[in-house]
Chains A and B, each alone.
Chain A
């Protein structure tokens, strides 16, 4: 399995504040989905923005098809932008309020001159049809669209350049369930029809479970657990993934109290050498505060936890009471 995109030791900071502390991540050639799971503040979106060169990395490497992404300039960067596209989380903000929908889908074609001028409108219209938007939407403006329609326009715009890798940043978090389902079905279809590889960023385990072969669980800018989705999400081994899994409410099951993932931003006072999750972990011991666990193979995936083995026995009680 050769990686299309390979991220190693990626560190990212906002000013002086580091938010991503050395993340490794591979996306294979499509059709393939990788899910990046984490809550707000875990650094998911920051990673996505860095991958599309909207934000600087402070250390680490990103390789796409053998090219050093972080060093790309000029013509090479333009080519990269064509091959890697992103669908932003905020469909409202990512659309220009003063440009009709069709023009926004034509724009990438015009920037890269990938389609002759005379054929651009037609091409954009067919993309809008492909993502299931009715024809009259073409002349509409942002505020006239529903949330699902906005997300589809963004997807059509991202697909216009026929990227090899698509980054989907919470593509459905702003949508209600039925609309969400249609957008997900669209991603599934595009994946098969276009052989698309994608990095799907989400806090929704069900979405990742449906669309991704591989899952990467992020907390506080550190990978907690990663491996085949079937293993990571169905039988999580890291206390954080367990807590996320247990926090998903199930229909018909009245569980009192609902298991909660203890909230609050990771404390800044934590020692640099400590585990990122230590302040919220019900299983934390002294060692977790002095020695950050590294990813190690365990039970068919990789886990960054000193107590993964013991967790099997301790976790149920430890977590259920939060």
Chain B
């Protein structure tokens, strides 16, 4: 391993990490793409040429206009500016991804770390519960849940969270089970550290990397799932500018007005790709064994 000499003069950890970013072009590209999309989502009210179109304004006379200098992405079936809607739409997709990753992450990490590290009966009980959730295909469970609840973007997020946490629980459990046999786990027990301290100070920091990486990779899948649910009519409802819903609405006219499906579809693709790049890059950068941290 080419490791820099142990006591390189104190260079800020941030600087060191930024330096390492340069060697991760995909991570950088992903970060830039995601940052731009987050920024445009946040600044949508100022960036969007026709903010009112994002929700409910209708202009039947301007329906299905192709892309032009006035409407860069064209207009949809009831004359709303698609660029404005796509800009606003990123807020919805990002919020859903953030919500699912947070909720599923917290639940999954807690369940998985306790199961894997404490072991024994706690492990058996928690993992059986996890298995029950895993037994249903995720999308099917989400569809069922979304159907029971009234369809909306927030209920879709809840439904996806319910199907998503078992994967984090499994991943965290595997990590915790291996940490359990590490010397530093013994070292913590020997000084008399309690379960909570062992889990919070030693297991979580060492197990979290792979879960965080998985979360950033999953953000893409969550965005796609949310779009799928909306597309199926089980997520966001008209007039929401949710991308999946927009694709669904434009589908019937894809041959005559290609721009209605294409631009929200591209937005989904770009955001999903951005998170995939980030996840892949993080995997490399966060590995403590790779060089200087």
Which A residues fall within an 8 A CB radius of B? 49, 52, 54, 77-78, 81-82, 85-86, 88, 90, 92-99, 107-108, 111-112, 136, 139-141, 143-146, 154, 157, 161
| CA distance in complex: A93, B10 (Å) | 25
Stretch among B42-50, B198-206, B246-254, B266-274 lining the A interface: B198-206
The interface bits of chain B over 254-293 (1 if a CB of A lies within 8 angstroms of the residue's CB, else 0) are 0000000000000000000000000000000000110001
The yes or no answer to B12 lying at the interface (CB within 8 A) is no
Contact A94 B184 (CB under 8 A): yes
Contact B183 A94 (CB under 8 A): yes
Assuming the contacts A93-B182, A98-B288, A99-B201, asked whether A52 and B190 have C-beta atoms less than 8 A apart, the reply is yes
- List, in ascending order, chain B residues with CB within 8 A of A111's CB: 191-194, 197
| CA distance in complex: A18, B182 (Å) | 23
Which B residues fall within an 8 A CB radius of A? 3, 6-7, 10, 182-184, 186-194, 197, 201-202, 205-206, 288-289, 293
A97 — nearest CB in chain B belongs to which residue? Answer: B288
A144 — nearest CB in chain B belongs to which residue? Answer: B6
| CA distance in complex: A16, B240 (Å) | 64
- List, in ascending order, chain B residues with CB within 8 A of A144's CB: 6-7
Q: Which of A52, A90, A98, A112 is in CB contact (< 8 Å) with B205?
A: A98
- List, in ascending order, chain B residues with CB within 8 A of A90's CB: 183
| CA distance in complex: A227, B10 (Å) | 51
A80 — nearest CB in chain B belongs to which residue? Answer: B192
- List, in ascending order, chain A residues with CB within 8 A of B194's CB: 111
Contact A99 B205 (CB under 8 A): yes
Contact A140 B187 (CB under 8 A): no
| CA distance in complex: A86, B190 (Å) | 8
Contact A107 B191 (CB under 8 A): yes
Apart from A96-B201, A111-B191: 7 A-B pairs, beta carbons within 8 A: A52-B190, A81-B190, A96-B187, A141-B288, A141-B293, A143-B3, A157-B191
Contact B202 A99 (CB under 8 A): yes
Contact A54 B189 (CB under 8 A): yes
A161 — nearest CB in chain B belongs to which residue? Answer: B191
Contact A54 B192 (CB under 8 A): no
- List, in ascending order, chain A residues with CB within 8 A of B193's CB: 107, 111
User: Chain B's nearest CB lies how many Å from the CB of A43?
Assistant: 17
What would 14 A/B residue contacts be, using CB atoms closer than 8 Å? A49-B186, A78-B192, A81-B192, A86-B190, A90-B183, A94-B184, A95-B187, A136-B7, A140-B7, A141-B293, A143-B3, A143-B288, A144-B6, A144-B7
Interface centre among B10, B186, B189, B190 (most CB of A within 10 A): B190
| CA distance in complex: A98, B202 (Å) | 8
Q: Which of A99, A143, A146 is in CB contact (< 8 Å) with B289?
A: A143
